[in-house]
């Protein structure tokens, strides 16, 4: 028997167990069964080619949210893993947390289409995937259509993910809702390649983003700009450039200003002026209606080594003055999201003005900090369960956050 067939057979036996429990009444209809698909850990190809930092981040997020959900009363959690991950330390850790596991050599896209897979055995799905290469949208399209349509998905609609997963389309969306964001230009691969020769050589630590430091680094005749892929995730391939006025005008002439319409996909890089100020983030948990929970503002730790940005964690909550300044813009953004489920993250800068940089339609690394800050179970919020076990959204029950700073 080939490897793929043996893996499918093991999965089929796992489904037979679930079916047997259902028939014997051991798995009642009131019990919620959540399937979590984390793209990196469920794909043999992605896992084998990913950096150690990406593996660590993906493992930390999946382990945290799966373990949190597993202790919510009447919730059973199943995760999809590649065989290599399942047989390693990650699988052992999840098993100890009471999380059930399925494996597939073929990866999540093929697994979701397997005839032996029964969507009816799950009540909810949660997808954790990067926006890059359209992976998040592809996976959401799968779990929000066909036989999976009848299973509640704890993510934003794939159509909204398609907008927010494209940084140029996000800029158009933000402008359309009157939400402040820096001006942006889209560029071709050829232009972006030339610009990379203009990366700054300096190294900044996480405290150097104030306006004085930015002006000093730029110099009197130049400006600082951020170049990044339109579909990038985290700080992947995000670069800091120093351009004088003539260079900037040439770039504008070769690129296209992002205004009221989404530019063509052939212009796959985004250029924006660097925003001086405190790098911040926040999160939203949606109910599937207009109700949502907004997290406190957190501070991001962002470094820049030889013109390449790096995200090294953060802390929550930020100072009260930052919370107060950011609240109006964040509330405006939360209302603009409309009806959505699951987690949406926002990255913004609190400087002379508060400006949104990116909106992430997925679970973010900041979950690791907020789960420690919340007085309760953060994964229960994703499921709409309050601290006393009742529905979070009935009567808009209060959500309590701690005040002691959590570093993650």
Of 195-199, 210-214, 293-297, 333-337, the least confident: 210-214
104, 108, 110, 114: CA torsion to nearest 10? 70
Q: What is the average pLDDT across 216-231?
A: 86
More confident residue, 212 or 326: 326
Domains along the chain with CATH numbers: 3-155 (3.40.50.11770), 167-273 (no CATH)
Reported as a single tens digit per residue, the pLDDT across 136-192 is 999 999 999 999 999 999 999 999 999 999 999 999 999 999 999 999 999 999 999
Tens of pLDDT along 362-382?
999 999 999 999 999 999 999
Between the CA of residue 90 and those of 64, 66, 369, what are the distances in Å?
A: 11, 12, 20
Candidates 289, 290, 364, 300; CA nearest to 326 is 300
CA dist., res. 45 & res. 43, Å (int):
5
Mean pLDDT over the full length of the chain: 90
H or E stretch covering 243: strand 239-244
Residue 217 pLDDT exceeds 90: no
What is this structure's pTM?
Answer: 0.90
Through-space distance between the first and last CA atoms of the chain, rounded to whole angstroms: 45
Residue 10 has pLDDT above 80, yes or no: no
Query: Which tokens go with 88?
Result: 């390693």
DSSP state of 385: B
pLDDT score at 397: 73
Q: Of the ranges 17-31, 235-249, 340-354, which one carries the lowest mean pLDDT score?
A: 17-31
Q: In which element (H, E) is residue 368 found?
A: helix 367-373
Q: Which of 339, 357, 340 is nearest to 348 (CA)?
A: 357
Q: Encode pLDDT of 27-42 as tens digits.
A: 445 799 999 999 999 9
């Amino acid at each position: 028997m080939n490897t793929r067939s043996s893996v499918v057979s093991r999965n089929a036996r796992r489904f037979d167990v679930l079916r047997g429990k259902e028939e014997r009444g051991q798995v009642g209809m009131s019990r919620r069964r959540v399937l979590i698909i984390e793209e990196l850990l469920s794909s043999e190809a992605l896992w084998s080619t990913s950096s150690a930092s990406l593996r660590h981040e993906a493992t930390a997020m999946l382990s945290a949210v799966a373990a949190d959900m597993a202790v919510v009363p009447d919730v059973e959690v199943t995760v999809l893993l590649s065989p290599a991950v399942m047989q390693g330390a990650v699988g052992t850790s999840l098993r100890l947390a009471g999380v059930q596991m399925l494996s597939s050599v073929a990866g999540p896209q093929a697994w979701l289409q397997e005839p032996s897979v029964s969507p009816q055995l799950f009540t909810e799905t949660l997808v954790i995937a990067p926006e890059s290469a359209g992976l998040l949208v592809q996976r959401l399209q799968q779990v929000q259509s066909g036989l999976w349509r009848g299973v509640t998905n704890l993510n934003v609609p794939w159509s909204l993910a398609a907008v927010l997963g494209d940084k140029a389309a996000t800029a158009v969306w933000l402008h359309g809702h009157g939400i402040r964001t820096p001006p942006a230009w889209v560029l071709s691969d050829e232009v972006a390649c030339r610009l990379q020769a203009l990366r700054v050589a300096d190294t900044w630590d996480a405290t150097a983003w104030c306006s004085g430091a930015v002006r000093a680094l730029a110099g009197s005749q130049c400006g600082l700009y951020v170049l990044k892929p339109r579909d990038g995730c985290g700080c992947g391939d995000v670069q800091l450039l120093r351009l004088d006025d003539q260079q900037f005008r040439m770039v504008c002439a070769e690129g296209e200003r992002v205004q009221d319409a989404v530019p063509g996909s052939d212009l796959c890089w985004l250029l924006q002026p660097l925003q001086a100020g405190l790098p911040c983030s926040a999160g939203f948990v949606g109910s599937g209606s207009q109700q949502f929970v907004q997290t406190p503002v957190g501070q991001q730790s962002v470094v820049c080594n030889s013109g390449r940005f790096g995200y090294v964690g953060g802390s929550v909550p930020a100072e009260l003055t930052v919370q107060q300044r950011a609240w109006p813009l964040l509330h405006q953004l939360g209302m603009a999201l409309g009806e959505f489920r699951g987690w949406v993250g926002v990255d913004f800068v609190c400087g002379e003005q508060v400006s949104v940089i990116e909106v992430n339609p997925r679970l973010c690394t900041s979950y690791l900090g907020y789960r420690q800050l919340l007085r309760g179970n953060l994964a229960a919020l994703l499921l709409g369960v309050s601290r006393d076990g009742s529905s979070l959204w009935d009567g808009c029950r209060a959500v309590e956050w701690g005040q002691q700073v959590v570093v993650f």
